[in-house]
Amino acid sequence: MTHNVLVMPGDGIGPEIINEAVKVLQACNDKFGLGLSVDSALLGGAAIDATGGPLPEETLSKAKACDAILLGAVGGPKWDGLEMAIRPEKGLLGIRSELGLFGNLRPAILYPQLADASSLKPEIVSGLDILIVRELTGGIYFGQPRGIRTLENGERQGYNTYVYSESEIRRIGKVAFEAARARNGKLCSVDKANVLEVTVLWREIMDDMAKDYPDVELSHMYVDNAAMQLVRAPKQFDVMVTGNMFGDILSDAAAMLTGSIGMLPSASLDVTGKGMYEPCHGSAPDIAGQGKANPLATILSAAMMLRYSLNEGAAADAIEAAVSVVLDQGLRTADIASNGCQTVNTETMGEAVVSALLNG
Ligand code: NAD
């Protein structure tokens, strides 16, 4: 059986980190006989430069045909002046929505070796293991109508629409309840039900769904409190579920609890479990092309891809174990540098994971 994987390096540090992740996937392929076949496609700024648009037809058809996608990151100052409809980020939003990738899984795990990289005290974050489940194809980022209009008095007004239908809430709720069931059985639903009707409905549906998951303890929290609790006592959380915009913000905050955004993978799944996997960070134009990027978030995204979409759990475990080995060896990229450890570049880090994997 062949697993057809599509890689989309994207922009900035994207090509550097994807290179290392592909090396790790090839090593896994050799070690576990996975039958991986890897193709590549353009997305974002790279696609704009080559074709004029951020999501070329060829990319979309390859993305629809493959079994799973591994993405680097898109965007950068070169394309910031373009109008919104053809910006690199539109390619990313477009592919998520075309493929129906509504369920975003963002783990925030603090590796014990990196406890001192967090800006929080070690006793508050050590052992942290949270999963944020974010709805990805609805909410205010996609709601219509939207735009910037000129009012009768000549003043300009920007507007967006925050909307969720019951079926959208139920399908993300299912992902979250099932994830909680497979972990420690605790689910915190985050909303702003004291102000926004759309999240009053969200809360009502989560409560209704909880009846089907008696083994999961459901709680609710307003988003402002959730932001505060994440930095005050983050270990109180197991799985958190929330809408697109709140999830965008909270998952970045959770990412920082772990010390570096360069360590964090993510998965975006459709209803069948097919998915796109990418690091939580962006294209980091400030360090692009300098060999400074941490490839571990992308390598760990490849592990999630093997586990969630390709059903190759043993290979995923082996990648995660190899990452832990290189951290034990004291190898660090600049973003997670620490006293007494060796600072290495992107390629050396990737190759160390390959060798730990092959020797593991
Ligand atoms: P960013 O995540 O790219 O960078 C934030 C900071 O983290 C920078 O200092 C960067 O150097 C550092 N960083 C990020 N990834 C790193 C890694 N792997 N190793 C070491 N350091 C790392 O966020 P930003 O600066 O706000 O955005 C830059 C561009 O990326 C923008 O064009 C933005 O639109 C785009 N972006 C893309 C995605 C995506 O493709 N999914 C997500 C977020 C931002």
315 confidence band (pLDDT: 50, 70, 90): very high
What lies within 8 Å, CB to CB, of 135 at 6+ separation is 102, 103, 104, 164, 168, 169, 172, 242, 243, 244, 247
Distance from C-alpha of 293 to C-alpha of 335, rounded to nearest angstrom: 8
Please compute the mean of the pLDDT values over residues 226-251 and round it to a whole number: 96
Cβ contacts of 81-86, under 8 Å, gap ≥ 24: 82/48, 86/48, 86/52, 86/53, 86/54
Determine whether the shortest distance from the Cβ of 66 to ligand 1 is under 6 A.
no
Rg (alpha carbons) of the chain, rounded to whole number: 20
Residue nearest atom 42 in ligand 1 by C-alpha distance: 282
- In the reported structure, the alpha carbon of residue 281 is separated from the centroid of ligand 1 by a whole-number distance in angstroms of 5
Q: What is the pLDDT of residue 115?
A: 83
- Of 261, 292, 344, 353, best ligand 1 pocket probe by most atoms within 8 Å of the beta carbon: 261
Q: What is the pLDDT of residue 258?
A: 84
Say if strands 275-279 and 68-73 run parallel, antiparallel, or are unpaired: parallel
Q: What is the pLDDT of residue 182?
A: 85
What lies within 8 Å, CB to CB, of 78 at 6+ separation is 45
Q: Nearest Cα to 31, choosing from 299, 345, 356?
A: 356
84 confidence band (pLDDT: 50, 70, 90): confident
Determine whether the shortest distance from the Cβ of 346 to ligand 1 is under 6 A.
no
Looking at the predicted structure, is the pLDDT value of residue 105 above 90? Answer: yes
Determine whether the shortest distance from the Cβ of 9 to ligand 1 is under 6 A.
no
Looking at the predicted structure, is the pLDDT value of residue 116 above 90? Answer: no
- In the reported structure, the alpha carbon of residue 284 is separated from the centroid of ligand 1 by a whole-number distance in angstroms of 4
Q: Which residues are catalytically annotated? A: 141, 192, 224, 248, 252
Please compute the mean of the pLDDT values over residues 34-58 and round it to a whole number: 97
78 confidence band (pLDDT: 50, 70, 90): very high
Looking at the predicted structure, is the pLDDT value of residue 165 above 90? Answer: yes
Determine whether the shortest distance from the Cβ of 76 to ligand 1 is under 6 A.
yes
- In the reported structure, the alpha carbon of residue 158 is separated from the centroid of ligand 1 by a whole-number distance in angstroms of 26
Domains of the chain: residue spans and CATH: 1-110+271-360 (3.40.718.10), 129-257 (3.40.718.10)
Q: Supply the pTM of this predicted model.
A: 0.88
Q: What is the pLDDT of residue 237?
A: 97
Determine whether the shortest distance from the Cβ of 262 to ligand 1 is under 6 A.
yes
- In the reported structure, the alpha carbon of residue 78 is separated from the centroid of ligand 1 by a whole-number distance in angstroms of 14
Q: What is the pLDDT of residue 1?
A: 77
